[in-house]
């Protein structure tokens, strides 16, 4: 896989026009010799100039490289889409729709939709494979994100959204927007996303009590933040709290405010970026080359 362009000049040299972007999508998803879904023969595919499609040399079946991608139903030039993804992967705290509007010369509505679909694509590419495992450590914490109600003080949670993070030490993080912080909610998320025999580190919050008894053979350890304890030997949640700092900095610094309805996408964007912290140079190529497989053709 090619690394991402290191600067804007290199980006435009690699993807100089829409045709180059479409050819890239065709190459990474199909390529010459791809078996035609209609006639079943390994075909040479010919570009159809009137649409974003390629035609089978034998039966004329059309392949559309943008189907099943964020670019499927859009009149926005593909080069602008690729450049928007480039911006997302070269900024530390994400890109606001207003910034995309300025950079791309599109309407705010178009910019917002592009950003929304790119975040969903990041979530799809990142996936949610379970983390942890035998003798591996996962730090778990939850927080609230959102503005405080006027006159209610910073401790008021009525207009805030609860979100949970599970971070494998020296590994990946998984985020989940949650309806509440009840025991069934938090422990259910752990069971769904953390493998058996994992060492769990949490704070003293009561909803984590008894997680070692759920049948997954977890080894549960806590630190008591209420008593000023943040590290006890190897037990700590400092790693996951560091992730919270990154997410909140991105939201307050770039987006100002994020509604509860859309918070999961901003969290997944931060998750995607965090999980590639050791290889940020691969993010652009990954996002313009990794897509969900097309559904099989029905008979």
Q: pLDDT tens string for the chain (299 positions)? A: 455 567 899 999 999 999 999 999 999 999 999 999 999 999 999 999 999 999 999 999 999 999 999 999 899 999 999 999 999 999 888 899 999 999 999 999 999 999 999 999 999 999 989 999 999 999 999 999 975 544 434 444 567 899 999 999 999 999 999 999 999 999 999 999 999 999 999 999 999 999 999 989 999 999 999 999 999 999 999 999 999 999 999 998 888 778 899 999 999 999 999 999 999 999 999 999 999 776 655 44
What's the confidence (pLDDT) of residue 154? 43
CA–CA distance, 37 with 56 (Å, rounded to integer): 10
Q: Which residue has the tokens 């690729």?
A: 82
- Which residues lie below 8 Å from residue 64, measured CB to CB, with a gap of 6+? 51, 52, 53
Q: pTM, whole model, 2 decimals? A: 0.91
Please return the burial class of 256, using the count of CB atoms within 10 Å of its CB with bins 0-12, 13-18 and 19+: exposed
Residue 220 near residue 211 (C-beta atoms within 8 A): yes
- Which residues lie below 8 Å from residue 191, measured CB to CB, with a gap of 6+? 214, 216
CA–CA distance, 186 with 201 (Å, rounded to integer): 14
Strand 137-145 to 161-168 pairing: antiparallel
Length of the chain: 299
First to last CA, the chain: 35
What's the confidence (pLDDT) of residue 295? 60
What's the confidence (pLDDT) of residue 184? 97
Q: What angle do CA 178, 183, 185 make, to 5 degrees?
A: 30
What's the confidence (pLDDT) of residue 12? 94
What's the confidence (pLDDT) of residue 157? 56
Q: Does domain 137-256 correspond to CATH entry 3.30.420.10?
A: yes
What's the confidence (pLDDT) of residue 298? 47
Please return the burial class of 68, using the count of CB atoms within 10 Å of its CB with bins 0-12, 13-18 and 19+: middle
Q: Which residue has the tokens 């509604």?
A: 259
- Which residues lie below 8 Å from residue 7, measured CB to CB, with a gap of 6+? none
What's the confidence (pLDDT) of residue 13? 94
């Amino acid at each position: 896989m090619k690394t991402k362009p290191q600067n804007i000049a290199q980006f435009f040299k690699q993807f100089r026009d829409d045709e180059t972007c479409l050819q890239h999508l065709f190459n990474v998803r199909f390529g010459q010799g791809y078996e035609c879904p209609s006639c079943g023969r390994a075909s040479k595919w010919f570009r159809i100039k009137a649409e974003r499609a390629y035609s089978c040399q034998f039966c004329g079946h059309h392949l559309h490289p943008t189907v099943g991608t964020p670019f499927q139903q859009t009149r926005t030039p593909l080069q602008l889409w690729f450049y928007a993804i480039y911006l997302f992967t070269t900024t530390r705290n994400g890109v606001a729709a207003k910034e995309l509007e300025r950079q791309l010369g599109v309407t705010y509505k178009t910019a917002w939709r592009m950003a929304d679909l790119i975040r969903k694509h990041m979530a799809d590419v990142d996936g949610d494979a379970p983390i942890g495992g035998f003798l591996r450590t996962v730090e778990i914490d939850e927080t609230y994100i959102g503005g405080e109600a006027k006159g209610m003080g910073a401790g008021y949670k009525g207009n805030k959204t609860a979100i949970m993070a599970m971070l494998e030490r020296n590994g990946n993080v998984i985020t989940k927007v949650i309806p509440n912080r009840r025991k069934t909610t938090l422990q259910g998320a752990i069971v769904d996303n953390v493998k058996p025999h994992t060492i769990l580190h949490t704070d003293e919050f009561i909803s984590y009590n008894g997680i070692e008894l759920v049948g997954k053979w977890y080894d549960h350890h806590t630190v008591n933040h209420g008593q000023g304890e943040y590290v006890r030997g190897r037990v700590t949640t400092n790693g996951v709290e560091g992730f919270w700092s990154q997410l909140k900095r991105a939201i307050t610094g770039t987006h100002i405010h994020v509604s509860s309805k859309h918070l999961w996408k901003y969290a997944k964007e931060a998750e995607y970026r965090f999980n590639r912290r050791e290889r940020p140079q691969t993010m652009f190529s990954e996002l313009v080359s990794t897509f969900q497989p097309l559904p099989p053709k029905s008979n």
